[in-house]
Amino acid sequence: MTYTTFYESPVGCLTLASDGKALTGLWIEGQKYYLGSLKEMPPRRDDLPVFAQVKDWLDRYFGGERPRPEELPLDPPGNDFRKMIWRYLIEIPYGELTTYKMLAQRAAAELSHGDHAPGTENTQGYEPVSKSFAGCRKTMSAQAVGGAVGHNPISIIIPCHRVVGTDGSLTGYAGGIDVKIRLLELEGVDLAGLHRPGE
């Protein structure tokens, strides 16, 4: 059974979903892929302990603190490839950026070498994949990674807003470019060198 509740944030109303134990979804109102694979809005239940945890996390995040995704029970539904990419997103530090290309290099390395790919041993620490996986023979398209990033069902907490194009393009955020910019500004990211698609 899936339940929902709502959270009024500086970037709009957020819909939270849970199976009663873990957070399974967090969507920004009006975003692409709103509600993910759910066919209709699940029943509302505001008293779940996991929702209280998530709302406290969001209060701290929007208050300028740096809560970590690992503080919360997260269980985003998806296939193994998407879950691998979402794990990479969780490892991107607050206020830092990576690119779709770098994520693709890391995914290619992990799929080539299994769980023992260089740089994957420490899942709590983020390492720039351009250094960790240089020389890997297997390749993967940034578009494939972009699809996984775009279908991230737990926005903000699994920080897909920290991924940009190799050329600095602020592209591919399901919540919209304006929301992406607001989240990066909140985290103190230097937006110099970044631009909207087509600019």
Residue type, 56: D
Q: Strand runs (DSSP E) across 72-132, as ranges?
A: 98-99
Tell me the pLDDT of the chain (199 aa) as tens digits. Answer: 999 999 999 999 999 999 999 999 999 998 888 888 788 889 999 999 999 999 999 999 999 999 999 999 999 999 999 999 999 999 999 999 999 999 999 999 888 875 444 333 333 333 343 334 344 446 677 888 989 999 999 999 999 999 999 999 998 788 899 999 999 999 999 999 899 887 7
Residue 160 annotated as catalytic? yes
Alpha-carbon distances of 15 from 18, 23, 33, 166, 176, rounded to whole Å: 10, 11, 12, 31, 16
pLDDT for 138 equals: 62
Q: What are the structural domains, with CATH classification, of the chain? A: 3-71 (3.30.160), 80-186 (1.10.10.10)
Residue pointed to by tokens 């398209």: 141
Q: Evaluate whether 167 touches 193 at the Cβ level (below 8 Å).
A: no
Catalytic residue among 28, 160, 163, 189: 160
Closest CA to 174 of 25, 24, 22: 25
pLDDT for 128 equals: 40
Strands 163-164 and 98-99, how do they pair? parallel
End-to-end CA distance of the chain: 45
- The DSSP output letter for 93 is P
